[in-house]
């Protein structure tokens, strides 16, 4: 009984680690894709024509900074040790783009386009990034600080100021709430998966789950004892191939069964 309990516990730990790894890979893939798209967008903003490419142009320098940051983060996400910090990379990249947008708006002495940028960078990651509310909160702080700095320097005091603040606060509240409920939903899915896995692994009968092509997707300890293949050996193989292999080698047994 103790051995069976230990095996179930080990299976739960392994399953949790694999799900955490899958979540990290999903986050890394999203960060890398977003950075590549941003790099392409920044390339579209590069001025064209004779004499247009002048490093003395502050707008061009800001565009180059955005491009370099986006490509650097995309490259870093291809380096495995750095993938653990994909949340920080996403927050840092968004914050840099927000503050370079602030600098651009200060140069142009214009605030409305930056408000749109801040709203997009507040709402977008809350939908695209599978991160926790605290990271969304840090990003929203960057949005608030950049908008406050721009408002202070540009000095807008017209009748639309209250409307701009209301739009910004509404976007921030919406993004924070969306991130909170998305994270809660992911946690519930993870808990349900762990609970289902524990039930399957602790079952007294053999349990085998296949997809529509007959490929094994679930294989519990009792199935291991019955067929002689561990879950790792059976997963991803056709059940028919495993049965044929068992009939050809009836004495074969997995050491972990």
pLDDT at 2: 45
In tens, the pLDDT along 99-130 reads 888 888 888 777 777 888 889 889 999 998 88
Which residue do the tokens 């007294």 mark? Answer: 204
pLDDT at 246: 67
More confident residue, 186 or 112: 186
pLDDT at 8: 47
* Sequential DSSP letters for 27-68: HHHHHHHHHHHHHHHHHHTS--STT---TT-HHHHHHHHHHH
pTM: 0.72
Domain boundaries, the chain: 2-198, 205-248
The closest alpha carbon to 26, from 18, 37, 36, 15, belongs to 18
More confident residue, 250 or 127: 127
In tens, the pLDDT along 191-242 reads 888 888 788 888 888 888 888 888 888 888 888 888 888 888 888 888 888 8
């Amino acid at each position: 009984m103790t051995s069976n309990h230990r095996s179930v516990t080990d299976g739960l730990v392994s399953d949790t680690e694999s799900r955490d790894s899958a979540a990290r890979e999903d986050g890394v893939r999203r960060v890398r894709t977003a950075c590549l798209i941003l790099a392409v967008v920044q390339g579209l903003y590069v001025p064209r024509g004779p004499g247009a490419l002048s490093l003395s142009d502050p707008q061009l320098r800001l565009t180059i900074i955005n491009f370099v940051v986006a490509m650097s983060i995309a490259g870093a996400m291809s380096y495995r040790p750095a993938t653990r910090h994909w949340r920080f990379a996403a927050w840092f990249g968004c914050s840099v783009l927000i503050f370079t947008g602030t600098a651009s708006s200060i140069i142009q002495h214009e605030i409305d386009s930056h408000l749109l940028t801040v709203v997009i960078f507040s709402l977008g990651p809350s939908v695209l990034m599978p991160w926790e509310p605290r990271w969304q909160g840090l990003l929203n702080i960057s949005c608030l600080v950049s908008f406050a700095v721009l408002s202070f320097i540009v000095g807008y005091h017209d009748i639309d100021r209250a409307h701009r603040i209301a739009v910004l606060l509404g976007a921030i509240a919406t993004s924070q709430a969306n991130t909170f409920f998305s994270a809660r939903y992911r946690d519930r899915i993870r808990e349900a998966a762990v609970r289902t896995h524990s039930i399957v692994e602790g079952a007294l009968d053999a349990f085998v789950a296949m997809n529509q092509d007959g490929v094994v997707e679930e294989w519990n300890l009792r199935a291991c004892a019955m067929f002689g293949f561990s879950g790792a050996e059976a997963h991803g193989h056709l059940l028919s191939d495993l049965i044929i292999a068992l009939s050809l080698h009836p004495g074969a047994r997995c050491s972990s069964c």
